[in-house]
């Protein structure tokens, strides 16, 4: 386990004198994120069918998600992302990208039913004050799917933002 200069383990957080421990799964997705773009150059070369951006750098977290869709099967077959934010934000987006792409991808209608609670469950939990990170992932996915709908003339399928 990685130790910081303060002697705390990587992933440990101090909040109002109490110690939080992220789950093993959160730490795994934070230290070894899945499906992530590591550079803007990688992202620029990616031919996405839909792109979603949510959050604000002024508030702390920004998530950008790119999806590729198999149009014949109406299925998300690839998902890439970049997140500016905390460990919970990075882990949430990484876990969501895995949920979407495992077993060959996910039907769009099923992907639209993913809730923040599903992401938190996959992570094995998040501290209550970090739950909003899973909400941002959910919103970034919906924005990417809506972008795909707009680009393909499926405006009747656009899901209003929460």
Query: pLDDT tens across 54-105, in order?
Result: 987 766 778 899 999 999 999 999 999 998 888 888 999 999 999 999 999 9
Residue 6 within any structural domain of the chain = no
Amino acid 7: pLDDT: 43
Active site residue 86: no
Catalytic choice (59, 102, 109, 151): 59
Structure tokens at 115: 């809730």
Active site residue 59: yes
Residue 39 within any structural domain of the chain = yes
What is the count of structural domains for the chain? 1
Residue 94 within any structural domain of the chain = yes
| Cα–Cα distance list, 151 to 2, 114, 144, 148 (Å) | 44, 22, 11, 5
Catalytic choice (133, 135, 141, 145): 133
Q: Which domain holds residue 77?
A: 22-150
């Amino acid at each position: 386990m990685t130790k910081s200069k303060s002697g705390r383990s990587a992933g440990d957080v101090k909040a109002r004198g109490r110690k939080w421990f992220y789950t093993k799964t959160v730490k795994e997705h934070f230290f070894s994120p899945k499906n992530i773009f590591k550079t803007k150059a990688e992202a620029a070369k990616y031919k996405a069918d839909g792109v979603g951006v949510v959050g604000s750098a002024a508030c702390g977290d920004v998530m950008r998600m790119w999806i590729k869709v198999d149009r014949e099967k109406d299925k998300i077959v690839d998902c890439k992302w970049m997140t500016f934010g905390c460990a919970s934000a990075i882990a949430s987006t990484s876990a969501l990208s895995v949920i979407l792409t495992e077993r060959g991808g996910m039907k769009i209608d099923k992907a639209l039913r993913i809730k923040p609670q599903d992401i938190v469950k996959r992570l094995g939990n998040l501290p209550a004050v970090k739950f909003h990170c899973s909400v941002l992932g959910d919103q970034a996915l919906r924005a990417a799917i809506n972008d795909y709908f707009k680009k393909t003339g499926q405006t009747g399928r656009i899901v209003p933002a929460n």
